[in-house]
Amino acid sequence: MDFRKKLMFKIYRVWFVRRVLPVVVFEVFSVMLGAHLFSRSVYVVRVLEGAAAATTESPFRLFNYLWYALLHSRVEVKVEIAIALVFAGLFLWSIKRAIVSYEVLRRTAISGRTDTAEK
C-alpha cells in the first residue's frame, strides 16, 4: 500500500469508530432491550406458534396470518411492534450510510482527488 491509501484507511477507521460504531452499538442494544421486553409478552409466543403452523400449508398464509394477528392484537403490542420496526429501519439506514460513506471515501482515495464536488 502506498502512503495515501494507508492514510485514507486510518482516516476511515477513526471516522468509523467515532461516528458509525456508537450509533450501531446503541441501536443493537435498543433492539435487544426491545426484543427482551417484547418476548415477555405471551401473545408473541402464541402468534409465533400459530405462524409456524400456518407456514406448513403455504408461505403466503404466513403473511395473512401475521396481518390478522396484528390487527386483532392489543394496543401495547402494536406499539411494541412499531417501535421495533423503527429501530430496525434506523439500523438498516446506519448500515447503508456507512457503506455509502466508505465507497465515497474509497473512490476519493483511489482517484487522488481532494475535492469531491467535481465529477
Q: For the chain, which ranges sit under pLDDT 50? A: 119
Residue 29 inside a domain? The answer is yes
Residue 119 inside a domain? The answer is no
Residue 70 inside a domain? The answer is yes
Overall pTM surpassing 0.85 (yes/no): no
- pLDDT tens sequence across 45-79: 777 777 777 778 777 888 888 788 888 888 877 88
- Find the DSSP H helices in the chain: 3-15, 21-39, 42-54, 59-71, 75-111
Residue 106: CA count within 13 A, CB half-sphere: 7
Residue 102 inside a domain? The answer is no
How many domains, in total, are found in the chain? 1
- Do 112 and 4 touch, CB atoms closer than 8 A? yes
Residue 99: the pLDDT is 84
Residue 10 inside a domain? The answer is no
Q: Which domain holds residue 76?
A: 21-97
Residue 115: the pLDDT is 55
Residue 44 inside a domain? The answer is yes
The total of other beta-carbon atoms located within 10 Å of residue 74's CB is 10
The average confidence (pLDDT) of the chain is: 78
Residue 43: the pLDDT is 67
